[in-house]
Amino acid sequence: MRHVEFSTAPLPALAPTRPTPPLGGGAGFGRVFSEVQGEVADFIKNGDPAGFAQPSLTPSARMLRARVDAAAASADTPGQQEFIDSIAPWAREAGEMLGVSPALVSAHAALESGWGQRPLKAQDGASSHNLFGIKAGAGWNGAVAQSETTEYVHGAALKTSAAFRAYPDQASAFRDYAQLLLENPRFRGALGAGNDARAFAEGLAKGGYATDPHYAAKLQSVAARLQGVSG
């Protein structure tokens, strides 16, 4: 779910994304799970949801894929609070620049970095401090970290390698992130969202921040946890 390169061509209008319901429970869920349990087994075995993203899957399978993704994005892991505390000063600063709650900025960093557990690595193995998955395009003059990433093409998740921006520290990463959103007109819909997680998430998704078709729902799920709102 990494940040993608941008072209100057306008994006087609996308339908609003609603948060997906959490995994588990609900009428008919057992039937849905039974219908796609083979696909679920493949998902667990390979650790890669590519099979769930195929357009040929049944609507039930695609629905379960969205639920699994949302649940994974908001699952409890050790060290989450420590991660949020460590980035709090920079999240506040970026939030003020963007006109959004620091919780939304923190949620975005948590989603992209796996709550700080999956930082992009530089060539020497050190952290790139790139918590937002921002790629190094032609206009980037700073350090670069080459890393494997997943891109979604026509709904299918494909593994690839790409160059990402690398920073000397977290503060630089957050400031570059805020500057990117401020300067790129594609993300105008995310600016000034305040505490509105849905507006922020959809503004990023519609602007093409990531190719994952469930990106907005995942971000809203993480943001809801940080805002103390039940999913």
Residues annotated as catalytic are 151, 176
What does the alpha-carbon distance between residue 49 and residue 189 come to, in Å, rounded to a whole number?
29
What does the alpha-carbon distance between residue 31 and residue 39 come to, in Å, rounded to a whole number?
14
- Residues 151 and 158: beta-carbon distance below 8 Å: yes
* Residues whose CB is less than 8 angstroms from the CB of residue 220 and which lie 6 or more positions away in sequence, other chains included: 19, 197, 198, 201
- Residues 167 and 179: beta-carbon distance below 8 Å: no
Continuous segment of H or E residues that includes residue 147: strand 144-153
* Residue whose pair of structure tokens reads 């990531």 in the numeric block: 210
